[in-house]
Structure 1
Amino acid sequence: MSVVSSAAAEGFIQRLPKEIRFYLVHGLDEGLAHERVKAIIRSRIGDDTDPMRLVRLEGDAVARDPGALADEAYAISMFGGERAIWIDAQGRDLMPALEPLFARPLTDCTIVVKAGQLKKGTGLRAAFEASAARASIECYPDDSSTLESLIDAEARAAGLTIAPDARAALAHMVGADRRTTRGEIAKLMLYARGRSEITAEDVEAIVADAAPSNLDQVVDDALLGDLPAVEASLSRFFHEGGDADYLMIRLVARLTLLHRLRVEMDQGRPFEAACQALFVKLPMSARRALAKQAERWTTDSLAERLPAIRQASARVRTDTQLADVLATRALWTLAARRRGARR
């Protein structure tokens, strides 16, 4: 099978295997999925948007008339050359249309299906992950390292540099959706045009907080030990389609940051000075929450909990069937253990 993780997707798309004609691009980050679908199609047919070479279909249309997809896929191009079909799944059952194509190889046409979050082992994802002749490409929200690399690349392209604290602040504010992230970065580059460096003040002035606030609320509630609030915010997070893996990534990142802050504070630095030393630049509401958490946890208690939370995060990533349950258990346990931290 060809299962491509979100982290490995960029390299995979740059070197697309010629023998693979079917691609499923799926995940929580709709903007990133859109970007990767375009990259796959560009790799196959270039930037050509001629409707004779690139056909876009909606999931509704494909589900209503499954046979039409085969007619389109096996049609001979009037002018020769590669063709591509882009299907937006829209949650529809596309298997009646795709299964006949899986059984009969395509020679000059590539089919790319874009979908939202899909559970492992079910439906489209199971079908695409069952054969080496197909590829399933995950699209999860960018982690801090990927975000900072993206920010640096966009700044260089605009002929700018970005201060470390500005980069850290921007990475905190964006990341839930690649399209939104690029939009916020583009606004910032336009705002800073004519200068050599982007500062933290620029970020505060122009970038909207595009991060998912309900996700941060879950993390804040758990780290403050507010069990009723954890129950409410977790329920809202999952009801709105929140991803357990992304939640655990955010939790590990927050605990790691808190531990580093506590180390600085144990050396005699007040909270604000510790933030400056670590280039932590956050919106005021996020800074207030972080300050409360730093007051209520000790360096030792954070060091004790971090390995368990990292282990829980790894389990959430690998056990997709129980991911929500495992994440919920980890958040509840963390909130309960907060009582043992310094108040």
Structure 2
Amino acid sequence: MTALKAHEVARFLARPDLSEGIFLAYGPDTGLVRETAQRLIRHLSGDDPASANITIFDGPDLASDPTQLPLEARSNSLFGGKRIIRVRNATKALVMPLTELRDDPGGTAIVLEADNLPPRDALRALVEAAKLGRALPCYPDSDETLMALMRETFNQAGIRADSDVIPTLREILGNDREITRRELEKLCLYAAGSKTLTRDDVLLLCADNGALAIDAILDATGSGHAEKLDLALNRALSANVNPQQLLAMLTNHFANLRRWRTEMDKGKTARAVLESVKPRPHFSRMAALEQQVRLWGDNSLATASERLLQATSDSRRRPILAETILRRTTLALCMIAATQ
């Protein structure tokens, strides 16, 4: 009986101990399932992948005609080469035809892709119990495996990534292996000429630029950086972000600053206050937020809140001037911050 653990799959793919039989990639991470099957097929194809005889089926199609699978597995290849059968969306409906091939696959490698399967699932049990069977669990990546994948990808491409590139990517991307691979390919293509990657490159190519522009508006206003504020406003407004929405977010931001400042005035450090916030602010904003909490006092924050409430009211009465009101108000607050 061969039941691999999730952490053993990568080692198996690097050097499979079988060249024929039934291979089952399964798990909740469909991107990783697909990638696992593709890597295994590349390895099984040998030194000349073009000569491999690869047939692809969809599980439901085979379930409607179970005889197709054993017939295809045992038919002779017209052009020689390794015979590989790939079955997507495999289910326990394939147990009967696979039982015929379990002990004698005739030199054929059958690579199955399936969703997450419980231990008692008939398909998983069949493959795990077969002498010529290997079940490959594909579960969502941990932080460590994803960051290792990123480092390996950049190293293979000869790209030097700044120290904050990988942590930034990890914050932006989820755990889906296929999405991660796609984003890494995009970054490698972007850096193919310069062979360098910075955090700004990652934010430009992979992040939600609308959300980043809004954060930039909040932080530039609160920190007193007029030039950054102008650039961020232009980016957000060109992306059709509603000026009234921005005023509402600014109002909320300054309300948060006032609440955090109250905690700081009770004796906490700015860092301790921010680390206790739920959800915790993105790590890339922590330094700017610390600066703002220290910069603004309660009286000036009260003044800022009053200005924003008045601006919101004015923009609702005269929507056509909403952008002008937004720019005038944020610049005024920016000037207050700059003189604190």
Same fold (TM over 0.5): yes
Contact 2:53 2:80 in 1 (8 A): no
Q: Deviations over 1:151-202 (max 9, x none)?
A: 1122223332222322112122224221110111122233344445422222
Do 2:162 and 2:199's aligned partners in 1 also have CA atoms closer than 8 Å?
A: yes
TM-aligned CA distance change 1:204 to 1:64, over 3 Å: same
Alignment correspondent of 2:27:
27
Which of structures 1 and 2 has the bigger CA Rg?
Answer: 2
Q: Note if contact 1:184-1:208 (Cα within 8 Å) is conserved in structure 2.
A: no
Q: Determine helix, strand or coil for the equivalent of 2:7.
A: coil
Judge conservation of contact 1:143–1:175 (CA < 8 Å) in 2: no
Matched with 2:257 is none
- Offset at 1:48? 3.0
Relative to structure 1, the CA distance from residue 54 to residue 193 in structure 2 (aligned partners, 3 Å threshold; closer, same or farther) is closer
Partners of 2:34 and 2:137 lie apart in 1 by: 12
- Give percent identity, aligned residues only: 29
Pair 1:270-2:287 in alignment: no
Q: Report whether the alignment pairs 1:177 with 2:176.
A: yes
Letter in 1 for 2:40: I
Determine the C-alpha separation between the residues in 2 that align with 1:19 and 1:197.
39
CA RMSD of aligned residues (A): 3.2
Task: State how far apart, in whole Å, the 2-side matches of 1:121 and 1:283 are.
Answer: 45
| Matches of 2:153 and 2:268, distance apart in 1 | 37
Structure-to-structure mapping, 1:309-320, within 5 angstroms: none
Q: Give the structure 1 partner of residue 119 of structure 2.
A: 120
Contact 1:192 1:198 in 2 (8 A): yes
List per-residue Cα deviations over 1:233-278 (Å, max 9, x = no partner): xxxxxxxxxxxxxxxxxxxxxxxxxxxxxxxxx996725998xxxx
Distance 1:158 1:48 in 2: 22
Distance 1:71 1:201, change over 3 A: same
Equivalent position of 2:158 in the other structure: 159
**1:201-236 per-position Cα deviation (integer Å, ceiling 9, x unaligned):** 222222146xxxxxxxxxxxxxxxxxxxxxxxxxxx
Deviation (angstroms), 1:5: 2.1
CA distance in 1 between partners of 2:94 and 2:204 (Å): 45
Q: Which runs of 5+ in 2 are unaligned?
A: 209-266, 276-280, 290-340
CA change 1:190–1:7 in 2 (3 A) is same
Write the mapping of 1:226-237 to structure 2, written as runs, cut at 5 A: none
Q: CA deviation at 1:84?
A: 0.6
Cα pair 2:84 2:110 within 8 Å, conserved: yes
1:273 and 1:202 map into 2 onto residues whose CA distance is 27
Measure the CA separation in 1 of the matches of 2:185 and 2:83.
Answer: 32
Identify if the C-alpha distance between structure 1 residues 283 and 65 changes in structure 2 by more than 3 Å, giving closer, same or farther. Answer: farther
Q: Would the aligned equivalents of 2:91 and 2:123 in 1 still touch at CA under 8 Å? A: no
Q: Is the alpha carbon distance of 1:267 and 1:126 closer, same or farther for their aligned partners in structure 2, counting shifts above 3 Å?
A: farther
Note if 1:4 corresponds to 2:8: no
Distance apart, 1:19 and its partner CA: 6.4
Q: Which amino acid aligns with 1:270?
A: R
Aligned CA distance change for structure 1 residues 95 and 190 (closer, same or farther; 3 Å): same
2:112 partner SS: strand
Contact conserved, 2:90 with 2:112, CA < 8 A, in 1? no
Matched, 1:188 2:187: yes
Relative to structure 1, the CA distance from residue 268 to residue 133 in structure 2 (aligned partners, 3 Å threshold; closer, same or farther) is same
Alpha carbons of structure 1 residues 177 and 11: separation in structure 2 relative to 1, 3 Å: same
Over 3 Å counting, the alpha-carbon distance change for 1:192 and 1:79 in structure 2 is: closer
1:51-130 matched pairs, under 5 angstroms? 53-91=53-91, 93-102=93-102, 104-130=103-129
Equivalent-residue separation in structure 2 for 1:28 and 1:40 (angstroms): 18
2:206 aligned residue? 207
Cα 1:170/1:92, change in 2 over 3 Å: same
* TM-score, with structure 2 as normaliser: 0.58
Answer whether contact 1:142 1:175 (CA < 8 A) is retained: no
Q: Provide the rounded CA distance (Å) in 2 between the counterparts of 1:11 and 1:267.
A: 48
Report the residue type matching 1:13 in the other structure: L
What amino acid sits opposite 2:171 in the alignment? H
Q: In 2, Cα distance between the equivalents of 1:31 and 1:129?
A: 22
Contact persistence 2:168–2:202 (CA under 8 A): yes
